[in-house]
Amino acid sequence: MILVTGSAGFIGANFVLDWLAGGDEPVLSLDQLTYAGNLENLASLEADPRHTFVHGDIGDTALVARLLAAHRPRAVLNFAAESHVDRSIHGPEDFIQTNVVGTFRLLEAVRAYWSGLPEADQAAFRFLHVSTDEVYGSLAPGAPAFTEAHACAPNSPYSASKAASDHLVRAWHHTYGLPVLTTNCSNNYGPFHFPEKLIPLMIVNALVGKPLPVYGDGQQVRDWLYVKDHCSAIRRVLQAGTPGETYNVGGWNEMPNIDIVHTVCALLDELRPKADGSRYAAQISYVKDRPGHDRRYAIDARKIERELGWKPAETFASGIRKTVRWYLDHPDWVAHVQSGAYREWVQTQYAA
Ligand code: NAD
Ligand code: DAU
């Protein structure tokens, strides 16, 4: 069995659902259920004996040690994190606590468990750390995309905390021999994406006639990857990645934010036209820029393709259509998310 942390969040939940759709190896899920953790994401697994959910903190060493001893996983996949850049600007402490201290404590608990395994199980064991392209900082227009050899230069409290966690993971391999794998992925989108992030926020705001807030000039570039492609990359790295290595994961799909927003608006015009015939793009509203906003991210994903044979399956056109469709088909999920702490957050962020 495998232990998946952060399994009630956007990518973790997609990963667990995909994993159990593709095989029968059981999953032990650990999630603290912060504002971003939503058990509704895993509702389809409620009666599934292959899935066990535990509510808890990756930084709770005693709990993690108990879970490892009781369930004896062959791998730990760490998705748990504070993940939103804007929140990290308003309040960095939770990011240090979970992403740095939490990862450290998780590594220590895993190291203690791994050290006690028989030799063959030790060799087969993997700790896979899910990280981000944001650790590399910002690229100038036209500069080559991030390779795994790119220097770390994080610019936000979020990316600094993720970079710190990546360094800890690396050190636990070099110092203690823990068989770790790190993936650094670009921007994901797809089902269960919390509507504080660009794409889901644009969809849900558009549908209720609210402004679509575009930061600064909207020309910041991100490399977008459909979440299920990220999940398949993680499965492949877990299966065949070399311990101690990092793998960049991306969609070969750089787009400026404003083009993303226009694409979402055009799909909504087609799939849910407004009764008065007006266009969703009329709701676009340019707002104050994010402090320290990284201008461009781009992932060079040749290593994972060359060494592990992984490539994304979706194009942006197919992935974004599926995503918009998913939000239109799941109004209850959106309503439940919005009735929680999300509302307060939107007030803090967009009051001005
Ligand atoms: P998310 O915010 O949607 O989910 C994070 C999950 O972690 C939530 O369920 C939350 O309850 C849980 N969590 C937070 N603190 C915890 C703790 N101390 N103990 C246990 N659980 C805790 O995030 P996401 O978008 O699903 O991102 C998952 C991982 O992937 C993160 O590590 C993030 O840095 C990384 N990542 C995200 C993206 C992206 O585009 N979303 C891209 C690259 C990498
Ligand atoms: O690159 C990977 C990262 O992608 C992950 O590590 C993070 O966890 C994930 O949140 C994401 O970070 P971003 O900051 O790129 O994502 P976000 O959706 O917040 O913003 C995407 C871009 O859109 C960014 O340039 C800021 C802009 N934006 C965002 C919001 C929420 C807007 O213009 N308006 C908005 O309201």
**CA distance readout (Å), 54 to 3, 8, 37, 78:** 10, 10, 12, 14
Q: What's the whole-number mean pLDDT along residues 9-16?
A: 98
> 78 CA to middle of ligand 1, Å?
9
Q: Judging by beta carbons within 10 Å of its beta carbon (0-12, 13-18, 19+), is residue 58 exposed, middle or buried?
A: buried
Q: For residue 326, which of 16, 14, 84 has the smallest C-alpha distance? A: 14
**Does residue 78 have its Cβ closer than 6 Å to ligand 1?**
no
Residue with tokens 């360094």: 167
Average pLDDT over residues 141-149: 97
First to last CA, the chain: 48
Task: Choose the weakest-confidence range: 42-46, 137-141, 277-281.
Answer: 42-46
The model's confidence at residue 340, banded by pLDDT at 50, 70 and 90, is confident
Substitution candidate for ligand 1 out of 3, 4, 10, 87 with most atoms within 8 A of CB: 10
The rounded Å distance from CA 31 to ligand 1 centre is 10
Task: Name the percent of the chain lying above pLDDT 70.
Answer: 97
Q: Ligand 2: which of 99, 192, 197, 265 to mutate, most ligand atoms within 8 Å of CB?
A: 197
What average pLDDT does range 271-276 have in this prediction? 97
Q: Which amino acid is at 236?
A: R
How many C-beta atoms lie closer than 10 Å to residue 346's C-beta?
17
Query: What is the Å distance from ligand 2's center to 85 Cα?
Result: 7
With a Cβ cut-off of 6 Å, ligand 2 is lined by: 83-85, 132-134, 186-187, 197-198, 201, 213-215, 220, 222, 257, 290, 297
pLDDT digits (tens, 9 = 90+) for 95-112: 999 999 999 999 999 999
Q: Is 40 a catalytic residue?
A: no
Percent of the chain with pLDDT over 90: 95
Res 342: pLDDT: 46
pTM for this model (two decimals)? 0.97
Return mean pLDDT, the chain.
96
β-pair partners for 27:
2, 51
Parallel/antiparallel/unpaired status of strands 2-5 and 27-31: parallel
Which of 106, 7, 1, 2 is CA-nearest to residue 53? 7
Q: What is the pLDDT of residue 341?
A: 55
Q: Judge whether 204 and 150 are in contact, CB under 8 Å.
A: no
> Taking a C-beta distance cutoff of 8 angstroms, is the pair 12, 38 a contact?
no
Residue 83 CA, ligand 1 centroid: distance in Å: 5
Identify the residue whose C-alpha is closest to ligand 2 atom 21.
Answer: 198
Determine contact, residues 48/23, Cβ cutoff 8 Å.
Answer: no
Enter the tokens of residue 147: 């390779």
206 is written with which tokens?
């558009």
Measured in angstroms, how far is the CA atom of residue 104 from the centroid of ligand 2?
Answer: 26
Instruction: Give the pLDDT of residue 352.
Output: 55
Q: Is 223 a catalytic residue?
A: no
**Calpha distance 224→239 (Å, rounded):** 24
CB 130 within 8 A of CB 79: yes
Q: Which DSSP string do the residues of 59-126 spell out, in sequence order?
A: T-HHHHHHHHHHH--SEEEE--S---HHHHHH-THHHIIIIIIIHHHHHHHHHHHHHTS-HHHHHH-E
147 has a pLDDT exceeding 70: yes
Domains of the chain, each with CATH number or no CATH: 2-188+226-252+296-313 (3.40.50.720)
Of all ligands present, the nearest one to the C-alpha of 12 is 1
Decide if pLDDT at 347 tops 90.
no
Residue 174 belongs to what H/E stretch?
Answer: helix 157-176
Any ligand 1 atom below 6 A from CB of 103: no
Tens of pLDDT along 300-319?
999 999 999 999 999 999 99
Per-residue confidence (pLDDT) for residue 346, from 0 to 100 = 56
Separation of 167 CA from ligand 2 center, angstroms? Answer: 23
The contacts of residue 188 (CB under 8 Å, 6+ apart) are 10, 11, 224, 225, 226, 227, 230
> Mean pLDDT throughout 158-174?
98
Predicted pLDDT of residue 132: 98
The H or E element containing residue 207 is: helix 198-207
Give the three-state DSSP class for 263. helix
Q: In this predicted structure, which of 8-17, 29-38, 123-132, 341-350 has the lowest mean pLDDT? A: 341-350
| Residue 343 pLDDT > 60 | no
Question: Collapsing DSSP states into helix, strand and coil, what is residue 292?
Answer: coil
C-alpha 29/C-alpha 19 separation (Å) is 12
Q: What atom of ligand 1 comes closest to residue 194's alpha carbon?
A: 3
Question: Which residue of the set 82, 133, 294, 300 is catalytic?
Answer: 133
